[in-house]
A and B are shown apart, each in its own frame.
Chain A
Amino acid sequence: MSYPESQSRTSGLHGVEAQALLSAGKVRAIPAHTLICQEGHTIDRLFVVTAGEVEIAKTVAGKSHALATFGPGTVLALMSALDGERSPVSIRALTDVEVVEVLRSSLLSLLDPERGEGAGLAHDLTLVAIRRLRSATDELAQTLFQALRSSPRAGRIDASNLARIQARNHAWACVRLAA
């Protein structure tokens, strides 16, 4: 199971909303090959990649598999940063990378309904999350249907497909960066 996959940037957050998210964090330079987030560990911040490439990997049957690479505009670890659960994937800098690091507390403060200024960002992030959830459930259903079709009793599931769904759940290519 080793099918690296490139993902292009898609629209999601842009203009004022993207700027609001980036302004809530601090710029950090990360050297190539540095582990940004380790599988099975908790993390209290998300990262927006502004330069360079990162790789998502996962350990299956004792072996680490590269699942996808992501470039500028990708939001990493948003789900883990907000719910405090362990990350099911590792994130590593493939090249020298620049990220904006946003702490959980800063994000929650930004999204606070009483403060108002993060309403647009919350709306756009919700849209991205909804679309990701719909895609993930469709991809999962498709993978499971294939398993049932090929072997109704044994239910052999394509592990690489499942792992790639996880990779996409934790790296959203959704911020359109200003040129």
Chain B
Amino acid sequence: MTYLLRDMRLFDSLTERDRADLVHFMHERRYASGETLCTRGEHGNTMVVVVQGTLSAVVPGADNRPREIASVSQGGVFGEMFCIDPAPRPATVVAKEDTTVLELGRDDLVKMRQEAPVAAAALVNAVFHDVLTRLRSVDQRIERDLRGERDDAPKDGGGAQVPQPARDDVPDPWEACFSRLRGSA
């Protein structure tokens, strides 16, 4: 499975050995189409890498029907912040089709820090830099608003794809919700 992590931006800074160590501590799980991986509001502590298939992240819409805010397919990752800092899930994640994932829980990371400290440190560093990049993008978004500029350009999803309906249809806060989702769903 190491090959899968090779093309993922989040794991760019990891060596081949780090990636192999990481995969060693992850658990493979299979979800049938329609099955729920996690539910909005419940406590979560895992990072998920999609090996095969597609996941859909949904939140309640205005009419209380599920509304998709992101999808994650093969080679995509989400929840990387949660294996370091568990917190309530901001969205429900459902398998859109039969899907196989690799999961790394907080306990796995603790074990990894003891048994493969260099790989664990490399993973934490990768998440740290990713979080700073996203914090910077929040800053840039604020900067644009303070200057009275609007930006309708698609954001870098980093492995996940955000639906891009008409601007009036999507309140900006969903961008913030999506930003949280990538790291904490």
Q: Contact: B184 with A165, CB < 8 Å? A: no
Q: Contact: B135 with A136, CB < 8 Å? A: yes
Kindly state whether residue B20 has any CB partner on chain A within 8 Å.
no
Residues in B whose Cβ lies below 8 Å from that of A114: 118
Closest to A148 in B: B171
Q: Contact: A82 with B146, CB < 8 Å? A: no
Say what secondary structure dominates the interface of chain B. helix
Q: A125-B128, A126-B124, A129-B131 are in contact. Are A140 and B117 (CB under 8 A)?
A: no
Bound together, the chains give a CA A122 to CA B134 distance in angstroms of 17
Residues in B whose Cβ lies below 8 Å from that of A122: 121, 124-125, 128
Kindly state whether residue B113 has any CB partner on chain A within 8 Å.
yes
Q: A79-B136, A111-B125, A113-B122 are in contact. Are A130 and B179 (CB under 8 A)?
A: no
Q: Contact: B128 with A162, CB < 8 Å? A: no
Nearest chain B CB to A44's CB is how many angstroms away? 15
Nearest chain A CB to B99's CB is how many angstroms away? 26
Q: A126-B84, A144-B172, A145-B173 are in contact. Are A113 and B142 (CB under 8 A)?
A: no
Kindly state whether residue B32 has any CB partner on chain A within 8 Å.
no
Q: Which single member of B18, B124, B128, B138 contacts A140 (CB below 8 Å)?
A: B138
Q: Contact: B177 with A141, CB < 8 Å? A: yes
B157-176 near A? 1/0 per residue, CB < 8 Å: 00000000000000111001
B114-129 near A? 1/0 per residue, CB < 8 Å: 0001111110110111
Kindly state whether residue B4 has any CB partner on chain A within 8 Å.
no
Interface centre among B84, B128, B136 (most CB of A within 10 A): B128
Nearest chain A CB to B43's CB is how many angstroms away? 14
Kindly state whether residue A74 has any CB partner on chain B within 8 Å.
no
Chain A residues 99-130 with CB under 8 Å of chain B are 111, 113-114, 116, 118-119, 122-123, 125-127, 129-130
B71-85 near A? 1/0 per residue, CB < 8 Å: 000000000010011
Q: A113-B121, A159-B146 are in contact. Are A126 and B180 (CB under 8 A)?
A: no
Q: Which single member of B172, B173, B183 contacts A130 (CB below 8 Å)?
A: B183
Nearest chain B CB to A63's CB is how many angstroms away? 12
Q: Which single member of A116, A131, A138, A166 contacts B85 (CB below 8 Å)?
A: A131
Residues in A whose Cβ lies below 8 Å from that of B113: 119, 123
Q: Which single member of A79, A142, A145, A165 contacts B142 (CB below 8 Å)?
A: A165
Residues in A whose Cβ lies below 8 Å from that of B98: none
Q: Contact: B135 with A169, CB < 8 Å? A: yes
Bound together, the chains give a CA A136 to CA B141 distance in angstroms of 11
Q: Contact: A83 with B133, CB < 8 Å? A: yes
Listed in ascending order, the chain A residues whose CB lies under 8 Å from chain B are 60, 78-79, 82-83, 85, 88, 111, 113-114, 116, 118-119, 122-123, 125-127, 129-134, 136-138, 140-142, 144-145, 148, 155, 157, 159, 162-163, 165-166, 169
Q: A118-B121, A130-B131 are in contact. List 14 more A-B contacts (CB 8 A).
A: A83-B136, A88-B143, A111-B125, A126-B125, A129-B128, A129-B135, A132-B135, A133-B81, A134-B81, A136-B138, A140-B141, A145-B171, A157-B145, A169-B138
- What are 26 A-to-B residue pairs whose CB atoms are below 8 Å? A60-B146, A79-B136, A83-B132, A83-B133, A88-B142, A113-B121, A113-B125, A116-B118, A119-B113, A122-B124, A126-B131, A127-B84, A127-B85, A129-B131, A130-B183, A132-B135, A133-B81, A133-B183, A134-B81, A137-B179, A140-B138, A144-B176, A148-B173, A157-B145, A162-B145, A166-B139
